[in-house]
């Protein structure tokens, strides 16, 4: 997973430094989803191909979230023990490719409709303090998203960016410890009669993800 994230970040840096692009930007945004706060690094390139009407953007963001029910996660992925004080934390990486198209809605200038494919990587960490158990549940899925964004000039090369939208991530295999449950009904080392639906109910992997972010974008 980290290898893919490093590749996307390298591509973002490449876009932001590529002299062949007629216009390119790099930006840092903060905000989050309904599940928790996050940060996003992004870069765009435009006018790099004659007649191509879109601005191309690559972005990578990390967002915190509630990973789910620790007691249910323990039963479904580990064992039936109940000792220890449960502790949990979670996050997901969102890797994004967007096509931005300028629109003239509401009479606003520098207003864009955006959308494109998504790839997310979820990790939920569960620990039972005093119970000597510590494990992670992970998943990775493809999706798509769309949104709107508005640019406000701060200076000649610096913009304030406000963006809002939503992403949809397809359900995917949930893996934890040595156990995995897949949406097609298959499982690896599944416990008792638990199914993917049980695992999906216990673990809050991102599915429909509204986003609201604000940040700064620098034009090179």
| pLDDT tens column, 45-82 | 988 777 888 999 999 999 999 999 999 999 999 999 98
Can you count the helices (H) and strands (E) in the chain? 3, 11
Beta strands, E only, 104-157 = 111-129, 133-153
Which domains does the chain possess? 2-219 (2.40.160.70)
Torsion sign, CA atoms 62, 66, 70, 75:
negative
Write phi, then psi, for 91 (nearest 5 degrees).
Answer: -160, 170
Predicted local confidence at residue 21, as pLDDT: 44
Predicted local confidence at residue 220, as pLDDT: 86
CA nearest neighbour of 211 among 91, 94, 67, 44: 94
CA nearest neighbour of 112 among 103, 120, 122: 103
State the burial class of residue 16 (Cβ atoms within 10 Å of its Cβ: 0-12, 13-18, 19+): buried
Residues of the chain with pLDDT under 50: 16, 19-21
Predicted local confidence at residue 50, as pLDDT: 77
Give the chain's mean pLDDT.
90
Residue 122, SS3?
strand
State the burial class of residue 144 (Cβ atoms within 10 Å of its Cβ: 0-12, 13-18, 19+): middle
């Amino acid at each position: 997973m980290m290898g893919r994230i490093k590749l996307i970040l390298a591509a973002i840096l490449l876009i932001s430094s590529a002299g062949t692009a007629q216009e390119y930007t790099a930006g840092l945004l903060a905000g989050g989803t309904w599940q928790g706060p996050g940060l996003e690094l992004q870069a765009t390139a435009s006018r790099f191909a004659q007649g191509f009407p879109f601005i191309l953007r690559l972005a990578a963001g990390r967002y915190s979230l509630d990973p789910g029910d620790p007691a249910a996660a323990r039963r479904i992925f580990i064992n039936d023990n109940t000792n220890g004080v449960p502790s949990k934390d979670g996050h997901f990486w969102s890797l994004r490719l967007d096509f931005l198209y300028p629109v003239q809605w509401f009479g606003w200038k520098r207003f864009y409709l955006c959308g494109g494919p998504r790839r997310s990587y979820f990790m939920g960490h569960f620990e039972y303090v005093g119970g000597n158990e510590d494990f992670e549940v992970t998943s990775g899925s493809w999706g798509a998203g769309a949104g709107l964004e508005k640019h406000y000039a701060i200076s000649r090369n610096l913009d304030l960016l406000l963006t809002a939208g939503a992403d949809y991530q397809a359900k995917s295999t949930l893996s934890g410890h040595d156990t995995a449950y897949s949406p097609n009904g298959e499982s690896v080392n599944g416990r008792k009669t638990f199914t993917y639906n049980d695992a999906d109910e216990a673990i809050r992997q991102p599915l429909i993800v509204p986003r609201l972010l604000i940040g700064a974008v620098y034009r090179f």
